[in-house]
Every structure is written in structure tokens, then in C-alpha cells.
Structure 1
Amino acid sequence: MKRYLDLEETPTQIDYLLVEMALSLEESPLRIVKYLVELYEIGGAYNVVAGLHTLLLAHYRIDSKAMCHAWMELKLHPQYVLDMLVLSMDQLNIELELVVVSVWLRYVDLYRKKYPRTYSAEDALKHLFRNKGAVEVEKIIGKIPDVGKNKMVKRQLLKLYHAAVTSEQDMDTKSRFYRHLKDWFERLFDAHWFFRHLRDWFKSIF
């Protein structure tokens, strides 16, 4: 790894022997993740890091739970992890990408339990689908075939999607309630001379 970090110019290629060596030496997932974070922070190495993650999780079948805990130990934000994992989610039906996305969704669950209210289901969908609208997201998820491991990933995505939609509907309901309450008070103030003067007095103070 050090030979890549010492390069003055941006690396454009990297052989996967680095990861093979790390695995053969039985490096811990935490150590491997640290390698990848260091490499990711080199400008222009993003494609390389995404490819290495795919290699680790899809081909070598490294323990995904251990990888998630390594990300958690480093306190990596889910969006940062996603950016390291994949560069584009326009082709969600690619099997290798689905494997990686499944691991990321597991990490999102861990992160949200550890740091509640800091990363919502809506945030996860926006980052994963690059701010696509709800209808478009539902269509993309619907295109994932219900076979093999794809079925599990599709179920995870649908769960996240429904959580986001439900949360958005709840927020919209609350917003409508407060808007109606505000309108009611304004009508009440306008209807009564005393309340109008009380409102004007409060406005003059604040």
C-alpha cells in the first residue's frame, strides 16, 4: 500500500495482488478497510477502490459482517462508505453491485442503530439512487429479478423504500396539521378585536 501512497502522481491502475496479499497474510477486515480508505483519499483512485471492494465482497466472500464492523469502528459515514463501494447505481441489475449494495444496506442498519436520527431512510435512498424521484426509484427496484440472492437485496431495498415513503407521508401529515393550526389561530386573531391588539402587541415586543 505504501508504494501507492508515496506516488506523487495520481495512480491510474492498480493490481489486485495487493488485496490477495492482504488476504493471504490473514489481515483483519479493519486493516484492509484502513488500506482502502487511505487509497480512496488519493485523488483519482475512486474507481480502483470501488473495484477492490467488489473483489473482496463478491469474489473472495470476505466476512461482510466483519467489514461492516470495521467501517463502524472507523466511524465512517454511510455516504462515504457508499462512495467507496460504487460510483454509479444506474445498473442495479448487475449481480456484483447487488452484493455490494446488500452489504452497504446492512451497514446502514448498524449505523442508524448506533447513531439514531442522524441518517434517515430518505437519506439512504437519495445517496443510493443519486436523488432520483420516488417513482423512478420504485421502477428501478422493480427491475431487480426475484431470483437467488437478488431477491434478498430487492427485499432490503423495498424495506428501505417503504420506510422512506412512510416517513415522508408522516412529515407531510404533520406539516398539514401545523399549517391548519396556524390558519385557525390567524382567523381567530383576525375575528376578535382583543386578539388582534394582543397579536400586534406581541409583534411590537418581539
Structure 2
Amino acid sequence: MVRPMPTLTPDPDRPSNLPEGERLRPTGPLSLDELREFADAVLAGMVENRDVKWDEQGEPLATLKNCGQDRECTWLLYEVDMSAIGMPTDTPLVVHSYAGEAALEWNIGPTPLAKTPRELTSQQTADALNMDVLLDGFRRFVLADSVLFPTSLTKDAGRQSGPILIDPDDCTCCECGGMLEVTDVDDATMSVECENGHAYDLEHDAFDAGFDYVLEYFSRRGSD
């Protein structure tokens, strides 16, 4: 079953349950309840397609790790067991609903996966997020992470492989353009510092793939 982390408060101005097969209307961003309900149904569809592993009751092995909402965007972060197709048991699947957008955006960590029209049903969306799409996104996710490599100059960054340096081709200091490296990390935060002493603190999500997730996000942001 999908295991919730936060308790979501229903919006009395919106329907609390989506009828089977209902399509989502592309107006403002969906509420947390609406997006959660739809995403859970998509995960159930992905179980039917055998792209997501399931428990003894046939429910998806997925955990909601984090979520958020503001005027422009609603998002959910799931940790999903996709070992049925050779992907990790803690794959970070993220879905965004943006105001004025006619599609939901799906990511693996920060790596774009697919955009699915909000007019699709949950099963149609699950079909769009098929094995080929998932594996292609995961290959790009791993490729982006592969630019990180060990260095003896940093402190232990919490991985068995040792400390991590962010490749300067992908991420440099916004103050001086110097090379950035991870200097410390815990369950919620990560510190990076450039060779000239400029330091930055970042937040990341406390789940098994979170460290790779935030490193890839940071390296991609630095190349924008």
C-alpha cells in the first residue's frame, strides 16, 4: 500500500474523492488531496502494468516522503519500489501540478521523466509512464549522478564510497565561479563550499536516495 508521511487536510471547496476514471481539469494547481489521490491511483495502475512492485494485498510498495503546495505548484515526492523492472527499491518519483499547466510533470529525483495531460485518467497516465519511459529516465538520472567522484579534500559526506566532489563542469560557485565540494551532510541538510571559502547550506529529503538526489539537483542548477 502507499504509506503516507504527512496528514493532508481536505479542502472543503474541492471534492474529496475522484470517481473512477475522472479526468483532472487544467485550471489552477491541484490541491494536495486531489494530487495525492490521483497519484495513488496512478501507482495502482503501474502495479497492474507490473512496473511497480506490490505487497501481499496487491497494493503498490510506495511511501509518500514529502509534499508541498503554494499558489503556483503542488508537488509530491514518493519513494517507490521499481525493482520489478530492475530499478531501485527506493526510486524517488516526483509529480508536480503547476497553475495554468495542462499537464502533470513527473520526475525521477530532479531528472525529467514525462509530462502527462491532466485530461488523462489515472490508468492512461500509468500507461504513459511505461517501462521504457521509466528506464530511460533512470538511465539519465544515473548518468547525471556519475559526474560526482571522490576527493580526499572533503570530509566524509555520508556515503560508503567516501566524500564527494561536484564536477566543476556542472556546478560552480555563484560568487566566484570556483569549484564546489560537499563538506558535510546529515539527514536534513547538506553543506557545500568552494575553493575560495564561499559556503552554502542546502536542505534535502531524508530518504535513502536523497543524497544522490540533492547532489544531482545542485549540479544541474549550477549549469543553468
Normalised TM-score (structure 1):
0.27
Structure in which a larger fraction of residues adopt strand: 2
Structure in which a larger fraction of residues adopt helix: 1
From the CA coordinates, give the structure whose radius of gyration is larger.
1
